[in-house]
Structure 1
């Protein structure tokens, strides 16, 4: 009965008056298996080098882009970056060699640098601990949905536009990807709400804007570009706690983010898959990610923000799925008989995407009483750290030439999964202690105020 009562309370929150109302990277992999590899003469690990170029640009732009949100409204900054990204995507349709793709992807990485963590920063500015997980989950799931749909879009393009006006199907993919981004950017210029403190959204009344401010803790918002700010930030234990958390967790996503299932199919020792199959079958990976993300984001909200539970789930998932693929690749294993098991392992591994929403929500929850730009720096640092490692991790452990089995990468996945469990346990201890101390200090301050 107690659980049912809590569930009813969670699903039917008693909002204050007015409160309820208040309230891409896959295109390259799709193109690669749809004719880009052969037409541009990709060889060896050049695909991974192109991905590393994107990561390098992403890393370069990460911290400056997110700290710039203190000076440039997100309503302007985000859509402007989207316009640049769309233009570069369409330019990719004109390339003639892997080196040109790498150069374009580098600048795309810079343009995309603030989108992911910048959006998590804005979400953390609007929503309370009880609401943040679901919203972060919806944001992450929407990105995974784009990845999943991208495979079907490429299949449709391949069937209907391939060699139309002399352009290969994969070139049309980049043109269409760029074009469909522009309306979203226009919508952002008009309707993105910024943060509660700076919003000028025409669809919010003055009373609703005041209510939005009242819902989140008032914290100091100082200019971030100073030596004192960076020294204080880089010596804070939570900066390194969450950065290292996402460095480890980010590498558990490698099965999905590096398109390993598509590369496994492309280099299968027995089967030869068609282009539609190469694009469609891997969509099960982000589909599993969507289900897992929404489930864990909602569950951790319901469990009063116990985001750390996801770390243990991902640790088990990473070890088991890697072990299954290692078993399939062992000497004497039948590659035909093991194919369903490998597909199942990769699909299950897609569930690790749940850590995106929950871990960034965890950082937002822990730091919501800190100054805004420190929270933004931590979120940027998490993504920066992960991508710095991923820039070389992908080449060392998941190079395209290592397909179909990626044996070295499977052992790496087991190692980071175990490390994630250990780090999650330690960080959850420190965040819980920090929250107890904060509440105790708040109680003492309240008592002193009453005495005075």
Structure 2
């Protein structure tokens, strides 16, 4: 039998072949051991690594938590504009409000809003959240309803304080609550849905209040302006009871008729994987540690600049310019709906990109640069009309990063539930505190519609926000490297 022999290989060629085979084997083993994770698509609600059990849990949480916080926040926005609407709809004459009493009512509201944010948020961390949030909502609705019975301004002062206190802590409290259930790759989108409720409320409140006044004025002997508060109450109470029925507490102490023991355990494991610590006793050493740490001061300073960067929209620059140009009331109201619509779109885009690509710093920087461009155009003022419209609408993107800023705070302060509560509530409180009086100096009505000081002030705020972004990124990167090391 004839055998065919292979030609002999040289020693060098054989060694090369063996080395190549070994290298290929190592590559195959490495690929099997550490496969490259599939990246989540921007349109996907779940990450590719989410198990079927996780996906069921996430959908349940969205139905139990996100629906409630969206509706509750929407209802609160109705009240924030109800007093101004009531004032021009008969309340001024009925209660004999003259001089600066409307300003005083707004000031009393803001005092309650600002002073009680941090205390009530911290109290919530000590209580079952599934009872505390709906209970605060319920009392908020009762105090809102009581305003319809007011017979003098002094009664309104007292009621407005409690309405401000019970409504003011809701935003930071919900941001903390979301951070107790959702992972980093999920937080921004849920925070954006929650934040969008305020924009939907701004867009819908005018139509709801106008329709209510037109149809209900004088019904059952009740003036139209009083009906506005009754409607706010009627919207709030069902939402509050829905919260009592649906909301779970936090994963560490969760009792829910809708979540199984396995799902609660899975939620706890998910937060452990994010290094998101459960609630602990609030001791003096812990308070001192929070006060001495960089997170509180850097994040609060960052939020201070961000909170006022939406001045173009919040100070009605577009409305006053349209009025000065002779646009009709109907046209002004219609055109003004574009700005909150831009904010909604920007919020969704930023939230999706933040969750999928973890691009918080880049998104914040991009938004700040867009706002700077818009304000430079408006500061110049003498530009083509189309460019001016574009600048006004572009400034609506300023609030689009709200959700990712608070999601980032949840991530940075993950190691302590108490620090998360202090930092998030302080960020919102300080921002609102400065936002309550600074506009009196930089957004003067006499400067309208060309708010030269206001537009330049907003440019300065965005520049400072970019500088603080560098500082924040430095501290956060240093901490991550230290933790990994």
TM-score bin (small chain):
0.7 to 0.9
- Structure 2 partner of 1:350: 396
168, 178, 182: which one pairs with 2:237? 182
Matched, 1:293 2:347: yes
SS at match of 2:424: helix
Task: Return closer, same or farther for 1:52/1:431 CA change in 2, 3 Å cut-off.
Answer: farther
Structure 1 position 408 matched with structure 2 position 453: yes
TM-score, normalised to structure 2, is 0.78
Take 1:7 and 1:175, find their aligned partners in 2: how far apart are those partners? 46
CA distance in 2, matches of 1:106, 1:52: 9
Preserved CA contact (<8 Å) 1:155 1:279: no
Q: Equivalent of 1:19, from 46, 54, 60? A: 54
1:48–1:301 Cα change, 3 Å:
farther
1:86 lines up with 2:131 in the alignment:
no
Contact 2:92 2:98 in 1 (8 A): no
Whether the aligned pair in 1 keeps the contact of 2:137 and 2:167 (CA below 8 Å) is yes
Once residues 125 and 281 of structure 1 are traced to their aligned partners in structure 2, the CA distance between those partners, rounded to angstroms, is 39
Gaps of 5+ in 2: 1-36, 59-75
Cross-structure match for 1:241:
298
TM superposition shift of 1:151: 2.6
Whether 2:428 is the aligned partner of 1:395: answer: no
**Distance apart, 1:241 and its partner CA:** 1.0
Given the alignment, which residue of 464, 467, 473 partners 1:419? 464
Alignment match of 2:118 (pick from 63, 67, 90): 63
Secondary structure of 2:438's aligned partner: helix
Tell me by how many angstroms 1:5 deviates. Answer: 6.2
1:377 partnered with 2:410: no
Task: State the structure with more CA Rg.
Answer: 2
Paired position in structure 2 for 1:325: 378
Tell me the alpha carbon deviations over residues 201-245 of structure 1, each in whole angstroms, 9 at most, x when there is no partner.
111111011000000126363222x43222111111011111111
**Do the aligned partners of residues 14 and 97 (structure 1) sit closer, same or farther apart at CA in structure 2, a change above 3 Å counting?**
same
CA distance in 2, matches of 1:260, 1:91: 34
The structure-2 alpha-carbon separation of the partners of 1:317 and 1:104, relative to structure 1 and needing over 3 Å to count, comes to farther
Q: What is the CA distance between 1:392 and its match in structure 2? A: 1.1
* C-alpha distance in structure 2 between counterparts of 1:70 and 1:127, whole Å: 17
Structure 1 window deviating more from structure 2 (53-62 vs 213-222): it is 213-222
Partner residue, 2:289: 232
Q: CA deviation at 1:367?
A: 1.6
Q: Is 1:152–1:280's contact at 8 Å kept on the other side of the alignment?
A: no
Instruction: Give distance in 2, aligned partners of 1:312 and 1:37.
Output: 43
- Corresponding residue SS for 1:197: helix
In structure 2, distance between residues paired with 1:377 and 1:55: 20
Could you tell me the TM-score, scaled by structure 1's length? 0.83
Partner of 2:66: none
Per-residue deviation, residues 153-207 of structure 1 (Å, max 9, x unmatched):
2343344334545656554333212210111100111111121112211111110
> Which one of the candidate residues 186, 202, 211 is aligned to 1:147?
202
Measured after TM superposition, the shift of residue 70 of structure 1 is: 2.8
Equivalent in the alignment of 1:308: 361
Q: Structure 1 residue 143: deviation in Å?
A: 2.7
TM-aligned CA distance change 1:9 to 1:89, over 3 Å: closer
Give the Cα separation in 1 of the matches to 2:109 and 2:235: 21
Shift of 1:76: 1.4
Question: Which of residues 84, 88, 92 in structure 2 aligns to 1:36?
Answer: 88
Structure 2 counterpart of 1:364:
410
Give the CA RMSD over aligned residues: 3.1
| Partner Cα separation in structure 1 for residue 352 and residue 261 of structure 2 | 30
* Superposition deviation, residue 321 in structure 1: 2.5
Asked whether the equivalents of residues 302 and 469 of structure 2 are also in contact (C-alpha less than 8 Å), the reply is yes
Query: Distance between the aligned counterparts of 1:326 and 1:171, measured in 2?
Result: 41
Instruction: Provide closer, same or farther for how the CA distance between residues 18 and 46 of structure 1 changes in structure 2, counting only shifts above 3 A.
Output: same
